[in-house]
Amino acid sequence: MIFQRFFLLLIGLYTCFFSTVLFAKPQRIVSLNLCADQLLMELLPPQRLVGVTNMARDPDISFSYQKAKDYHAHSGRVEEIIALKPDLIVAGQFTSSASNQLLETLGYPVIKIGLPYTMAGIFEQIEAIGKEVNAEVAAGSLVNNFKRRLAVLNKKKRQAPLLRAIVYYANGYSAGQQTIVNEILNVAGFTNIAAEEGLIGVAPFSLERLVTSKPDVLILGELTNNESSLAHRLLQHKAIKEMINVGQVEKILVPDRLWNCAGPSSIAAANYLIKLP
């Protein structure tokens, strides 16, 4: 084990040294995070984005699963990452795995992207990442396209009376203030009950609280009917079914891939909600 780590260290130092000498800007980027996958695929061709995660190809969770077919997917193993000869690695700010730490120890440049929760924050992140990966023109074009689509959505958004909605996840969680879900609901013209009641981030929201809040719309993910998962069984609770059956609330299923990340999918998520009858 010690010999293996020493060997990896030598390879890492060798690769990083020559990458630094040959290129002032990164030429071979590897993503270790699903949200980074989706953003970087909008900015870089497969020749420069030489690795995305396996999750990028999963249609249940990845908005860009079709585009990901054109990119090399990796399993996240350190040996596999090193073999891709990256001169920049993009990870998630809140996902500190042993692999990330080892790659940093080996001397690979690693940047970590956060989780913006406003459209303005998304624009800032796109521009910042564009600068890091030497794709400022593509980043500027993406932001401008994003803003044009957002302007169109603002004209189409649901008008008063605003529907009071709540997103309900497995294990009884919801998304409140300071989440991209809250921003998407607002852009689409909904009032987010969880935010209205002071919930911060993604946090527990009890079943009793859900029922007494009397939402107009209950938004669930596509995996709601996953009865094999204990975490999802709460979503099959008779109280929720009764709310739906008696017409107290309208149930909407939104594909999870539309708002797992803040980025290219966020406008699509808002548009999806606006187009609903």
Predicted confidence (pLDDT) per residue in 213-247, tens digit: 999 999 987 665 555 565 566 677 777 888 887 77
d(CA 64, CA 68): 6
Q: Is the pLDDT of residue 4 over 70?
A: no
What was the pLDDT predicted at 158? 64
Q: Which ranges in the chain belong to alpha helices (H)?
A: 2-22, 34-43, 78-83, 98-105, 119-132, 136-156, 180-188, 193-196, 207-213, 238-245, 264-274
Predicted confidence (pLDDT) per residue in 131-166, tens digit: 999 999 999 999 999 999 999 888 877 665 678 999
Residue bearing the bigger pLDDT, 200 or 155: 200
Q: Is 90 exposed, middle or buried (0-12, 13-18, 19+ CB in 10 A)?
A: buried
What was the pLDDT predicted at 160? 59
Predicted confidence (pLDDT) per residue in 67-117, tens digit: 999 999 999 899 999 999 999 999 988 766 777 788 888 889 999 999 999
What are the structural domains of the chain? 2-114 (3.40.50.1980), 158-274 (3.40.50.1980)
Region 254-273: what's the mean pLDDT?
91
23: Cβ contacts below 8 Å, ≥ 6 apart: 87
Q: Are the C-beta atoms of residues 58 and 78 closer than 8 Å to each other? A: no
Average predicted confidence (pLDDT) for the chain: 85
Predicted confidence (pLDDT) per residue in 20-67, tens digit: 444 468 999 999 999 999 999 999 999 999 999 999 999 999 999 999
